[in-house]
Amino acid sequence: MQNDYTTLHKNLDTKIAELQDKPFTNMYLIQDLKKQKLRLKDKMVGIVNDDIDTFVKSEQKRNKKLLDNMIHRQKRSDKKRRKERKKKIQYAIRRSDKVSLSG
């Protein structure tokens, strides 16, 4: 769609240049073509801005998802590390209890 607008914009520009080169041209026609060209340019800018907004929103969602996944992995890793540490402490307590009972 944007390519169609771009082509139309170039065609209007060419037509305006052709009309301006002729000695007796209708200035109102040239003004009207220039207004059409400006409206077309505004539409193209609007499309580009919408595309940029869509891209930014999708990147924000993607980054949030990546961050959430990183946080989730870190929580699982921390939980696993705490569980292993707890096992080591319990093992050390059992060993110390056995040593103190036998000693």
Residue 50: what pLDDT?
92
- For the stretch 50-64, pLDDT in tens is 999 999 999 999 999
> CA–CA separation, 15 vs 83, rounded Å?
77
The pTM of the full predicted model, rounded to 2 decimals, is: 0.56
Phi first, then psi, for residue 35 (nearest 5°) are -65, -40
Tokens representing 7 are 């082509």
The one-character DSSP state at 22 is S
Q: Is 25 left (phi over 0), alpha (psi -120 to 50) or beta?
A: beta
Q: pLDDT digits over 75-103, tens only?
A: 999 999 999 999 999 999 888 877 776 65
